[in-house]
Structure 1
Amino acid sequence: MTTGFLLGKFMPLHAGHQLLIESARAMVDRLTILVCWLPDDPIPGTLRLRWVRELYPDCHVVGHDAVVPQEPAEHPDFWSIWADIVRAAHPEPIDRVFASEPYGGELAARVGARFVPIDLDRTAIPVSGSAVRDDPAAAWRWLSEPVRAHYRHRIVLHGPESVGKSTLGARLARHFDTVQMPEYGRTYCETFGTALDADDLLRIFEGHVAMDAALRRQAGPLMIADTDPLMTQAWAIMLLGARLPAIDAWDDVADLYLVPALDLPWRDDGTRLFGSDLARRQFMDAAIAELDRRHLPWAWVTGEGDARFQSALAAIEAAGL
């Protein structure tokens, strides 16, 4: 049986790392991957370990979190220290050490293995971990879904009926070339009617969460959503006068909530219930209260047409998204 070994920080894991791993895996019967990290790394090591294990379940993936020298100049026994680390992670003889850096030759010699270089000059995959960290959106094509999920930001249109959430969300999705998660509650009400009880609202909650999770994989660096479960909770307060504990326990909140103001006229589309000025204000208060009770970032969106769209873009830019 041919054994192989490689190591890296994978901060974050990108297509260059995957080229290394997948090339190595094709050349050996058993591949060990050592994921290394330090306590102050900008991306938690346990998260990077999880990414590699998720993508390569047929490899032996080991984590290493000890504080050790990172460059030969840092310690006179640098190579001996790292040879011991490799032997601890892979006690059996190693046939091949794979790397996309020249250090692989010295490391292989230290553990009695043959060095196999992979894309040393980054010709095949022109990307680096620092470039991804500096601008994840620019490097998006080089990232797999688990890593994209780490960098993806979600913006939710939040607020009561007839404030233009769906229209604004669709326009934002086109602008950012991404997907829009539709309001699942609308789909549910159009199918089953608007006489909603607690069970109906929980079905809306479950449907929205499931569809949102599936749709995220199709999104770019930004994902736009037309409401999320916090609006379902606001509906519960308006319809039932009570909170739903399952939604209170839900914590997959967005990075920014955009709240379109009540400056558009209310229109009855067959699924809307709260059209009076008083009811609209009460619904808006309930919606905002759901954000404030969790101390979530949100911004007003005002104006009509292009002005409303520009107001949303300004809020997104101000939030740094």
Structure 2
Amino acid sequence: MNGRASDRTPAQPSWVPEFGHGMVVGKFYPPHAGHHALIAAAAARCAVLTVVVAPSRRESIPLAARLDWLREVHADTPWVRFVGRYDDHPVDYADPAVWDAHCAVFRAAVGPEKVDAVFSSEAYGVELARRFGAVPVSVDQDRRTVPVSGTAVRADPAGHWRWLSPPVRAFLVRRVVVVGAESTGTTTMAEALAAHYGTVWVPEYGRELTARKLARLWERSPGATIFDVGWDRDDFRVVVREQQAAEDAAARSSGPLLFCDTDARATAVWEERYLGNASPQVREAARRPALYLLTDHRDVPFADDGLRDGEHLRAWMTGRFRDELAGSGVPVVELTGSHAERLARAVQVCDDLLAAGWSFAEPITAPDTLAS
């Protein structure tokens, strides 16, 4: 991936800028508010700004994703272009040959146009500007305005969550899926966990669709019940599509944990229940969340709200969920006992999930250099 799709000349600002062509260089591993502030400051002073995203191939966030995230956040400054180039050279600020190697990568990304100013929040910005024959412009080098760095984010994403943009949050969020038979408290648990962690949760779309189907049926047959509602393969594909769309939308505003009431694997079990087996399309749509919480049917009274099949199915459904999740490759924790006991257990395993942190491949560069 080299970002050539944005190598064309971008639109220019309507005001008279201080510099003709500015440059920002970094790895953006991952992009954070400090990066965005740097780019915004440079964009405010340049007719055209080239942002060179130059990671090494060993890093664990795709280059294409970083480019997409940056373009989304800075879509309101079309005179800023983002160009990606891999830079696998070592870092040694005392070695002119190493400097030459890095600068060759940056020059190839920028193209033949002269660079008038180099904007940076790092000490290397002065030498980088000298080598491009440009004016060095330092922006918040002491991190007082935006106290964050890529190194800090990688070490503790949850602790620096507020500095991350919606697409980066959606990439890093840990998804916790609550599944279980009817009337076993999946919705109650997802909502309670979201409240505990101060985040959002994703309701079950299948339940919403069931209610709509029954309402339409009542228009023709006022005495109809849930047992008169019909299902086909397309219905379950719609459920998966809409559920995942809602999940992806919520992930952009979520905290480090996102709680989901059901997913495609649970939908496959319900498709099996109504149609005899699960379709390949539904099964293939299954994702890998960070954790499954399975709500046991025991110790939870059955409440018939008019949208449920019946208490007699709950033990079978619990067993099917248990079998289905066993082959998912995802950790599964079963919740039993009272609601308070279940919530305490769920919070414990979610805290453990946060404490385990995130895993990033180490960049070639040292902390607080181009790696930020």
**What's the TM-score, normalizing by structure 1?**
0.92
Distance in 1 between the 2:211 and 2:186 partners?
A: 17
1:108 is aligned to 129
1:147-187: CA deviations, max 9, x gaps?
11122111111111111111111111110001121111222
**8 Å Cα contact 2:240-2:285 kept in structure 1:** no
Match of 2:267 among 232, 240, 251: 232
Distance in 1 between the 2:286 and 2:25 partners?
A: 34
2:54 is aligned to 36
Distance in 2 between the 1:92 and 1:243 partners?
A: 57
- Secondary structure of the residue aligned to 1:139 is helix
Of the structure 1 ranges 208-217 and 138-147, higher mean CA displacement relative to structure 2 is found in: 208-217
Cα deviation, residue 5, structure 1: 0.7
2:297 is aligned to 262
Pair 1:38–1:206, CA change in 2 (3 A): closer
Match of 1:253 among 278, 281, 288: 288
Aligned 1:1-321 pairs, distance under 5 A: 2-56=20-74, 58=78, 59-73=80-94, 75-90=95-110, 91-193=112-214, 194=226, 195-198=229-232, 199-263=234-298, 264-276=300-312, 279-319=313-353, 320=356
Of the structure 1 ranges 309-318 and 8-17, higher mean CA displacement relative to structure 2 is found in: 309-318
Q: Aligned pairs, how many? A: 318
- Secondary structure of the residue aligned to 2:99 is helix
1:291-310: CA deviations, max 9, x gaps?
23332221111110211111
Pick 1 or 2: higher relative contact order, CA cutoff 8 A, min separation 6.
2
Of the structure 1 ranges 171-180 and 61-70, higher mean CA displacement relative to structure 2 is found in: 61-70
**8 Å Cα contact 2:92-2:98 kept in structure 1:** yes
Of the structure 1 ranges 108-117 and 240-249, higher mean CA displacement relative to structure 2 is found in: 240-249
What stretches of structure 1 move > 4 A for 4+ residues in a row? Answer: none
Unaligned runs of 5+ in 2: 1-18, 215-225, 358-372
1:86-139: CA deviations, max 9, x gaps?
322222111111111121111111111111111111111011111111111111
Distance in 2 between the 1:71 and 1:18 partners?
A: 26
- Secondary structure of the residue aligned to 1:130 is helix
Cα deviation, residue 253, structure 1: 3.4
Cα deviation, residue 42, structure 1: 4.5
What's the C-alpha RMSD, in Å, of the aligned pairs? 2.0
**8 Å Cα contact 1:5-1:31 kept in structure 2:** yes
**8 Å Cα contact 1:237-1:286 kept in structure 2:** no
Given residue 194 of structure 2, which amino acid in structure 1 is its aligned partner? A
Distance in 2 between the 1:212 and 1:196 partners?
A: 26
Of the structure 1 ranges 81-90 and 137-146, higher mean CA displacement relative to structure 2 is found in: 81-90
- Secondary structure of the residue aligned to 1:7 is strand
**8 Å Cα contact 1:34-1:61 kept in structure 2:** yes
Pair 1:205–1:175, CA change in 2 (3 A): same
Distance in 2 between the 1:214 and 1:82 partners?
A: 38
1:36-78: CA deviations, max 9, x gaps?
11232243444323322333453322222232122314x3423
- Secondary structure of the residue aligned to 2:158 is coil
Given residue 28 of structure 2, which amino acid in structure 1 is its aligned partner? F
Distance in 2 between the 1:318 and 1:142 partners?
A: 23
Distance in 1 between the 2:37 and 2:247 partners?
A: 30
Cα deviation, residue 274, structure 1: 3.5
Given residue 17 of structure 1, which amino acid in structure 2 is its aligned partner? H
**What's the TM-score, normalizing by structure 2?**
0.80
Distance in 2 between the 1:306 and 1:153 partners?
A: 23
Given residue 144 of structure 1, which amino acid in structure 2 is its aligned partner? S
Given residue 8 of structure 1, which amino acid in structure 2 is its aligned partner? G
